[in-house]
């Protein structure tokens, strides 16, 4: 699988900077492919949001692995939902 690198998140207050247009287009393409069942595109999206998921884990009262799986599953479900 080809590894895609997207912009890093701002460390100040956990806010992501504005996504450059080419990056947003690439993410949109992966989102559309993931909705059609492309597993590699789904993996790219999960990797893109990995830092956000790690940040959110701090606010979930679950063991780390359970929280990680819960958040990833919620993201996958929201992508696949029509």
Domain boundaries, the chain: 39-82
Residues in Cβ contact with 65 at an 8 Å cutoff, skipping those fewer than 6 apart: none
Please list the alpha-helical segments (H only) found in the chain: 21-35, 39-48, 50-57, 64-80
pLDDT tens digits for 39-81? 999 999 999 999 999 999 999 999 999 999 999 999 999 999 9
The dihedral built from the CA positions of residue 58, 62, 66 and 71, taken in this order, carries a sign that is negative
Residues 22-27, mean pLDDT to the nearest whole number? 86
- Looking at residue 7, its pLDDT comes to 46
CB contact at 8 A, 54 and 11: no
pLDDT at 9 over 50: no
Q: Does residue 9 sit in helix, strand or coil?
A: coil
């Amino acid at each position: 699988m080809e590894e895609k690198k997207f912009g890093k998140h701002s460390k100040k207050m956990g806010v992501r900077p504005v996504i450059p247009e080419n990056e947003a287009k690439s993410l949109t393409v992966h989102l559309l492919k993931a909705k059609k069942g492309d597993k590699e595109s789904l993996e790219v999206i999960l990797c893109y949001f990995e830092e956000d998921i790690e940040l959110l884990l701090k606010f979930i009262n679950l063991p780390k692995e359970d929280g990680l799986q819960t958040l990833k599953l919620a993201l996958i479900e929201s992508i696949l939902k029509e």
